[in-house]
A and B are shown apart, each in its own frame.
Chain A
Amino acid sequence: KAGVTQTPRYLIKTRGQQVTLSCSPISGHRSVSWYQQTPGQGLQFLFEYFSETQRNKGNFPGRFSGRQFSNSRSEMNVSTLELGDSALYLCASSLSRGRGTEAFFGQGTRLTVV
């Protein structure tokens, strides 16, 4: 079974631009979460989507947004990029949302803002 796929793997953008990252979950998984990973802050929760609805959002500015499509694929968008947005963005999918649910992670998209 194919794992979580994130595209692109690497991106270089200029301050002020916007960017869209894509995540294809494992087939049958309906919950998709996004995390930002930086050396200073570690892994931080961005948001979770389930059945095309955002269920929860982390402590990030409104420049960070996302959506989920009917096939459970998800995109996240960052507008007006800042240097501090440079990070590894990880997507995770899960089959359910109950106790003990395992999250399956993609390999991430490395975003560099210059």
Chain B
Amino acid sequence: AQRVTQPEKLLSVFKGAPVELKCNYSYSGSPELFWYVQYSRQRLQLLLRHISRESIKGFTADLNKGETSFHLKKPFAQEEDSAMYYCALSNSGAGSYQLTFGKGTKLSVIP
């Protein structure tokens, strides 16, 4: 069974400090990992996906298959980064499309 773990429910950092949101997964196949973000009073939206190896809003995430991790990082936190962050795993290779989410980490950036 696939599982996503986000160990921190809440993470508070000062503006300008580095940010790392942790995500570990359990999956027997070839994983597809995503980070979704929900800003206050907005809908859940994609931040980035490992397959694109992209940097969005200064955030990056590297898939580490050895450690089964997909941590989200940003070198300098901004106040507008305050939001709820969800790590998600997709099993789209199994004939269906399903996302398994972690329980989320609330990031609070202190001015």
Contacts and interface: CB of A to CB of B under 8 A. Distances in A.
The finding on whether chains A and B are genuine partners in a shared complex, rather than unrelated, reads yes
Interface of A: 3-4, 31, 33, 35, 42-45, 48, 50, 55-56, 58, 90, 92, 94, 97-108
Nearest to B41: A107
Contacts, number: 66
A101 B90 contact: yes
Interface residues on B, range: 20 to 34
8 contacts: A3-B43, A45-B98, A90-B44, A94-B97, A99-B93, A103-B99, A104-B45, A105-B43
B52 interface: yes
Q: Which 8 A-B pairs have the closest CB atoms?
A: A56-B96, A100-B51, A43-B101, A42-B103, A97-B97, A55-B96, A105-B44, A102-B46
A42 B101 contact: yes
Given A42-B101, A42-B103, A43-B86, A97 B96 contact: yes
Chain A facing B: main interface SS: strand
A58 B97 contact: no
Contact of B102 (A42, A50, A94, A106): A42
Contacts of A90: 44
Interface in B59-111: 86, 90, 92-104
A55 B96 CA distance: 6
Nearest to A39: B103
A59 B7 CA distance: 23
Nearest to B50: A100
A50 B94 CA distance: 14
